[in-house]
Amino acid sequence: MMAAMRRLPVVVVLGATGTGKSKLAIELGQKFNGEIISADSMQIYEGLNIITNKVTSAEQLQCRHHLIGYVNPFTNTSNTVVNFRDKALPIIERVFAEGRLPIIVGGTNYYIESLLWKFLVDPQVHDKGPDAKKLRMSDSCPVTHESERPLPPGGGTSAPGHPATIDVSSTGSDAAPVADASFEGEAALEDTGEATLDRGKVAQECCKTAASDRGADREGKFKDIDSSELHRQLTLVDPVTAKKIHPHNRRKIIRALEVYSQHGVPLSDILKSQHASAGGTDALSGPVRYDKTCIFWIQCDQTVLDARLDARVDTMMEHGLLQELHDFHREYRQKMQGDCDYTLGIFQSIGFKEFHNYLLLPEPESDTVKGRQLRDEGVELLKLATRQYAKRQIKWIRNRFLKRPGPGVVPVYGVDSTDVSLWADNVLKPACDILSAILQGENPAVLPLEAGGALTEHVYNVCDVCAGRVFTTLQEWNAHTNSRRHKRALSKQRKQLRKAAVLHSDEA
């Protein structure tokens, strides 16, 4: 049975919201005897079918689905990617063991990553002080809830793409959060553009104890030391990590210093040993979990997708979106007996916050001029947020799947759903052909997508011309040295030097 189960790949369907992921997953599931594992941080919740765009029960009958609607949104608000992964992995093993094909599909790309790559660090194994050198780097670091909330227009967080992590699962031990998602991989050190605001927020709101116990402590110990001094200290104990962190990025510097002070081992060594243990080289991205993976990315022309997403919001409204949100708010108010906390993750997710002001109106006011105005604003905001979310998902796929560095790279095959009338030819058939080839141990006739961009190269540069500004990647450095600002500063400096030289020669 082992042999049979190892011949099967894990199938993954990626794509922005609205590209047809669920449809392709179901079709592949039916054709290839598969079961679907949903990787969607909103579809984990019970109810809320319209706003989370959940597959219908009819669709669920066409192919067995897992991990949909298993979390009560009222009682469990601190669901994490680790909870998800720990539920999903045994399901995948079971599906394999039954000789069926696991098909992972969903819009929460970070959830998918946690299944495909082993890249999370386990804090609990570090408690044994003297054995610090024998760190076993497993992949179960607690990472906070991720419900992919969009940023407000114009940004709003200083560190998009860096999931905030507050250790919530180290069961009362004094293990500090050893590593957070910021250190999980090369790509995680970049700005991937994915919205992660609510992770931090949910962490704060749902894990207040953890936050106050640990977050405050953490600054406490370093609070009188300025960031550049901390960076200098990090350079002494962990130069590899120091090179990758900007001296102003206090949060990351402190985390890296903490890893060192608590475990006596540089974070970079920890990550390196993790990769070495799986035959990896020096890439920071974790080793792959499955030896055979077949990833599809359903692509779609942006303009077409935008229009499709706008239309989907209109359909949601027709299907009773506002009623669903109303009911949810009412139930929540009843349960909380007035002690409502609308900063919780679910209320920060797409769909809730756009209608927040409308939903908080006393019911008789919903059908007034003001009510209708707030409702219409909500619709427009939801459309905007959905389009922005789709763009971030695409950026995430590019940065984290296609450009993944080192040995953890897996081929991603593109299919195109721009013209839905050509679905069978442009999406289903190519996907079936590729998967059939892989199942037969052959190379698919089409090539996987190219990364379409250079990997981030970490090089530490200081620009003496521009008052010692620091750059930690080659890309940033190149962009800077080509920037108008730098060139202006450079020519100014040259002029001054020439002037000084002239003065000097005059004196001589």
Q: Name the residues that contact Zn ion, by CB under 5 A.
A: 463, 465-466, 486
Least distance between Zn ion and beta carbon 464 (Å): 8
Residue 273 neighbours by CB under 8 Å, 6+ apart: 135, 137
Residue 478 C-beta: closest distance to Zn ion, Å: 12
Residue closer to Zn ion (CB basis): 434 or 466:
466
Which of 413, 415, 412, 435 is closest to 424 using CA atoms? 415
Q: Is residue 165 a contact partner of residue 142, using CB atoms and an 8 Å limit?
A: yes
Confirm if 420 and 372 have CB atoms less than 8 A apart: no
* Residue nearer to Zn ion on the CB measure, 344 or 466: 466
Nearest C-alpha neighbor of 296 from the set 2, 4, 20: 20
Tokens 């050198």 label which residue? Answer: 133
Judged by CB, which is closer to Zn ion: 281, or 483? Answer: 483
What is 437-459 written as a DSSP string?
HHHTT---SSPPPP--SPPP-EE
3-state secondary structure of 101: strand
Q: Is 418 or 481 the residue whose CB approaches Zn ion more closely?
A: 481
Q: Cα separation of 345 and 76, whole Å?
A: 10
- Nearest distance, CB of residue 463 and Zn ion, angstroms: 3
Asked if 426 and 419 count as a contact pair (C-beta separation under 8 A), the reply is yes
CB of 480 to Zn ion, least distance (A): 6
- 208 versus 485: smaller Cβ distance to Zn ion: 485
Q: Write the Ramachandran bin of 469: left for phi over 0, alpha for psi from -120 to 50, otherwise beta.
A: beta
- Residue 235 neighbours by CB distance under 10 Å: 17
Minimum CB distance to Zn ion smaller for 83 or for 481: 481
Q: Which CB sits closer to Zn ion, 125 or 463?
A: 463
Number of CB atoms found within 10 A of residue 428's CB? 19
Please state the closest distance from residue 486 (CB atom) to Zn ion, in A. 3
Q: How far is the CB of 472 from Zn ion (least distance, A)?
A: 15
State in angstroms the smallest separation of the CB of 483 from Zn ion.
7
- CA dist 29 and 60 (Å) reads 11
Please say whether the beta carbons of 437 and 443 come within 8 A: yes
> To the nearest whole angstrom, how small is the minimum distance from the Cβ of residue 6 to Zn ion?
53
Give the Cα separation of 275 and 134 in Å (integer): 15
Helix (H, G, I), strand (E, B) or coil at 172: coil
Q: Nearest distance from residue 462's CB to Zn ion, in Å?
A: 9
Which of 414, 453, 406 has the alpha carbon at shortest distance from 434?
Answer: 414
